[in-house]
Amino acid sequence: MVTEQDVWKALEQVYDPEIPELSVVDLGMILSVDVAPDGKAVKVVFTPTFAACPAIPVIKEDIAAKIRELLPVESVTVEVSYDQPWNSNRITERGRQILKQRGFAPPPHVTAEIELEVLHTVPCPYCGSTNTELQTPFGPTLCRAIHYCHNCHQSFEQFKPVM
Amino acid sequence: MDPKQEAIKELLIKMADDQLIIGHRHSEWIGLGPILEEDIALASIAQDKVGQSYTLFQLLHDQFGTADPDTMGFLRAENEYRCCHLVEYPNGEYDFSLIRHFLFDHAEYHRFDMLQASTFEPIRGIARKFKSEIKYHILHADVWVRRLGTGTEESHQRMQAALETAFPLALGIFEPSPYEQVLIEENFFPGEDALRQRWLETIQPILEEASLQMPDPSSVEPAYGGRRGYHTEHLAPLLEEMSWTLRYDPEAERW
ipTM score here? Answer: 0.89
**In terms of domains, do A38 and A102 share one?**
no
What is the reported pLDDT for B98? 97
One-letter identity of residue A55: A
B37 close to A (CB below 8 A): yes
The answer to the question of residue A149 being in a domain is yes
Question: Which chain A residue is nearest to residue B41, measuring alpha carbons?
Answer: A138
Residues of A with CB under 8 A from a CB of B: 50-54, 81-87, 113-116, 135-140, 142, 146, 160, 162-163
Question: Which chain B positions have a beta carbon within 8 Å of A163's beta carbon?
Answer: 132, 135
**In terms of domains, do A8 and A74 share one?**
yes
Lowest mean pLDDT among A106-120, B106-120, B143-157, B167-181: A106-120
Do B51 and A137 count as a contact with CB atoms less than 8 A apart?
A: no
Contact B137, A90 (CB under 8 A): no
The answer to the question of residue A86 being in a domain is no
Alpha-carbon distance values, B210 to A34, B54, B149, B203 (Å) = 53, 34, 5, 10
The answer to the question of residue A110 being in a domain is yes
Give the pLDDT of chain A (163 residues) as one tens digit per residue. 999 999 999 999 999 988 889 999 999 999 999 999 999 999 999 999 999 998 999 999 999 999 999 999 999 999 999 999 999 999 999 999 999 999 999 999 998 888 888 788 899 999 999 999 988 889 888 899 999 999 999 999 999 999 8
Where among A17, A45, A80 does a domain terminate?
A: A80
Q: pLDDT class for B59, splitting at 50, 70, 90? A: very high
* Number of domains, chain A: 2
Do B51 and A84 count as a contact with CB atoms less than 8 A apart?
A: no
Question: Which chain A positions have a beta carbon within 8 Å of B52's beta carbon?
Answer: 51-52
Mean pLDDT of chain B: 96
**In terms of domains, do A71 and A25 share one?**
yes
Determine the distance in angstroms separating the CA of A112 from the nearest CA of chain B, rounded to an integer: 11
B125 close to A (CB below 8 A): yes
What is the reported pLDDT for A30? 98
What is the reported pLDDT for B255? 63
CA distance B230 to B83: 9
What is the reported pLDDT for B253? 80
- Of B182, B59, B184, B66, the residue nearest B122 (C-alpha): B59
- Model pLDDT for residues B30-41, shown as the tens digit of each residue: 999 889 989 999
**In terms of domains, do A130 and A70 share one?**
no
Q: Distance between alpha carbon B155 and the CA centroid of its chain, in Å? A: 25
Alpha-carbon distance values, A131 to A114, A161, B247 (Å) = 20, 19, 52
**In terms of domains, do A150 and A97 share one?**
yes
**In terms of domains, do A10 and A68 share one?**
yes
Percent of chain B exceeding pLDDT 70 equals 100
What is the reported pLDDT for B251? 83
pLDDT above 70 for B27: yes
pLDDT above 90 for B95: yes
Q: Chains A, B: CB contacts under 8 A, how many?
A: 75
- Specify burial of residue A1 (Cβ count, 10 A radius: 0-12, 13-18, 19+): exposed
Using H for helix, E for strand and C for coil, what is the string for A103-138?
CEECCCCCCCCCCHHHHCCCCCCCCCCCCEEEEECC
What is the reported pLDDT for A113? 86
**In terms of domains, do A98 and A129 share one?**
yes
Q: pLDDT class for B1, splitting at 50, 70, 90? A: confident
Determine the distance in angstroms separating the CA of A2 from the nearest CA of chain B, rounded to an integer: 31
**In terms of domains, do A68 and A129 share one?**
no
- Model pLDDT for residues B208-243, shown as the tens digit of each residue: 999 999 999 999 999 999 999 999 999 999 999 999
Question: Which chain A positions have a beta carbon within 8 Å of B48's beta carbon?
Answer: 50-52, 142
For the segment B122-128, the average pLDDT, to the nearest whole number, is 97
**In terms of domains, do A57 and A11 share one?**
yes
For the segment B183-206, the average pLDDT, to the nearest whole number, is 98
The answer to the question of residue A87 being in a domain is no
B130 close to A (CB below 8 A): yes
What is the reported pLDDT for B172? 98
Question: Which chain B positions have a beta carbon within 8 Å of A135's beta carbon?
Answer: 37
- The architecture that CATH gives domain B3-248 is Up-down Bundle (1.20)
Question: Which chain B positions have a beta carbon within 8 Å of A53's beta carbon?
Answer: 51
B16 close to A (CB below 8 A): no
Where among A23, A58, A80 does a domain terminate?
A: A80
Mutation to test the B interface, candidates A138, A143, A158, most B Cβ within 10 Å: A138
- Domain encompassing residue A137: 93-159
The domains of chain B are located at 3-248
Q: How many CB atoms lie within 10 A of CB A92?
A: 14
What is the reported pLDDT for B42? 96
A53, A135, A163 ranked by CB distance to B132: nearest: A163
Residue A24 makes CB contacts below 8 A (sequence gap 6+) with A11, A14, A15, A16, A30, A46, A59, A63
**In terms of domains, do A8 and A68 share one?**
yes
What is the reported pLDDT for B152? 97
The answer to the question of residue A88 being in a domain is no
Q: Which helix (H) or strand (E) holds B187?
A: none
Determine the distance in angstroms separating the CA of B123 from the nearest CA of chain A, rounded to an integer: 9
Where among A25, A55, A80 does a domain terminate?
A: A80
Percent of chain B exceeding pLDDT 90 equals 93
